[in-house]
Structure 1
Amino acid sequence: MRVLIVEDDALIALDMAGLVEDLGHEVIGSEAEAEAAFALARNDRPDVALVDIRLAGKADGGELAGWLYRDLGVRSLFVSGSITETFREAMADIQPLGFLGKPITFRNLGEALRDI
């Protein structure tokens, strides 16, 4: 599976990339800002995006996930320490693949990606 990582903390992004690769998937890239992540996805279509809610730049992860889903058909798995019930409800129309709280582990990321 081809995975896009969208995370504004470079160390967390690096850790996530290692976990994704250890699980046998390909990381197509990692971006800290929604706009850059969308441009990357448009040029090199991922199968899934791992998206943090709070990102660098003007747009947040929820906005990005909407762009990815509506414009490219790419669904998102949210990986964040900021997941609320209100956010879950707001994202329902873009059919997210799930919500993982931080910190993520090999096990919970593996289970989430296996179910896709």
Structure 2
Amino acid sequence: MRVVICEDEILIAEHLSTIVKSFGYDVVGIAHNKKDMKELLKRTDPQIALIDIRMEGRYDGIEIGEHILLNHNFPLIYITAHSDTEIIQKALKTKPAGYIIKPFKAMDIFTAINIAMENFSAARTETFIMIKDGYKSVKLYHYEILFLKSDNNYVEVYTDKTLYIERISLEGMLNTINSDRFMKVHRSFAVNLDHIKELKSRELVVGKHLIPVSRKYIKEFKEKIGLE
């Protein structure tokens, strides 16, 4: 399991890293502030993040949580020495997979990580649609879908391996999927935000595909992923 850590106190970060490694997990990076954490997320492929809520006197951990929620698809666990109700309420909006209270023990870390990953895996496999494939219907999980393309009265559903075609409107398919991880970016295209690799001017790199983003949707899209 690949773990990233964001903790401004170097000794605590190193102690946390040692604990995580003792369970056989890989620590793919440690950041000590918000800026470094965002850079770390660009060049690593973590499966879970451990984030201190308060760093350098500010609640930057929550901002990082918001960034992960909008731009990535893995669980995060907050580490905190604070129990302020207002701060906890703000943190909850980023949908964390758990909390670890300082001072922590090794078993606290182990338990939190394993519960978070178990719940994340279960949630990921539970969200699916049934879609026609020839004369049969197959279960297609949301995370498998890269993007949707409208073609008159049909929608082409793209995955890494297969193209499915369903007789339905693009809006109808989005209603069927019913997930805030899917967003319309063009009158003929909707994308799974979890599969976006890059934004090039007015095009998105999704898997091996280039998806156009129209002027009508560009502002809303940038706000959604935290670019504005």
- The two structures have a TM-score, normalised by structure 1, of 0.90
Matched-pair identity in %: 25
Q: Residue 115 of structure 1 corresponds to which residue in structure 2?
A: 115
- Where 2:66 maps in the other structure, the secondary structure is helix
Counterpart CA distance in 1 for 2:19 and 2:38 is: 22
- Where 1:115 maps in the other structure, the secondary structure is helix
Alpha-carbon distance, 1:58 to partner? 7.0
Q: Residue 85 of structure 1 corresponds to which residue in structure 2?
A: 85
Alpha-carbon distance, 1:85 to partner? 2.6
Please provide the CA RMSD for this pair: 1.7
Q: Residues 83 and 26 from structure 1, CA distance in 2 versus in 1: closer, same or farther, beyond 3 angstroms?
A: farther
Residue deviations 1:69-106, cap 9 Å, x none?
Answer: 21122331001112433222222232101111111111
Q: Residue 97 of structure 1 corresponds to which residue in structure 2?
A: 97
Moved more, 100-109 or 79-88: 79-88
Alpha-carbon distance, 1:59 to partner? 6.5
Query: What is the identity, as a one-letter code, of the residue corresponding to 1:63?
Result: E
Counterpart CA distance in 1 for 2:88 and 2:42 is: 25
Q: Residues 83 and 51 from structure 1, CA distance in 2 versus in 1: closer, same or farther, beyond 3 angstroms?
A: farther
Q: Residue 51 of structure 1 corresponds to which residue in structure 2?
A: 51
Counterpart CA distance in 2 for 1:72 and 1:45 is: 10
Please tell me whether Structure 1 or Structure 2 has the larger radius of gyration of its CA atoms: 2
Structure 1: stretches of 5+ with no match in the other structure: none
Q: Residue 29 of structure 2 corresponds to which residue in structure 1?
A: 29
Structure 2: stretches of 5+ with no match in the other structure: 117-228
More strand as a share of residues: 2
Residue deviations 1:22-78, cap 9 Å, x none?
Answer: 111110111111111111112112111100011249771000111012112233100
Check whether the contact 1:8–1:33 (CA below 8 A) recurs between aligned residues.
yes
- Where 1:54 maps in the other structure, the secondary structure is coil
- The two structures have a TM-score, normalised by structure 2, of 0.48
Counterpart CA distance in 1 for 2:29 and 2:56 is: 16
Counterpart CA distance in 1 for 2:40 and 2:57 is: 16
Query: What is the identity, as a one-letter code, of the residue corresponding to 1:103?
Result: P
Larger RCO (CA within 8 A; separation ≥ 6): 1
Q: Residue 20 of structure 1 corresponds to which residue in structure 2?
A: 20
- Where 2:93 maps in the other structure, the secondary structure is helix
Q: Residue 9 of structure 1 corresponds to which residue in structure 2?
A: 9
Check whether the contact 1:51–1:79 (CA below 8 A) recurs between aligned residues.
yes
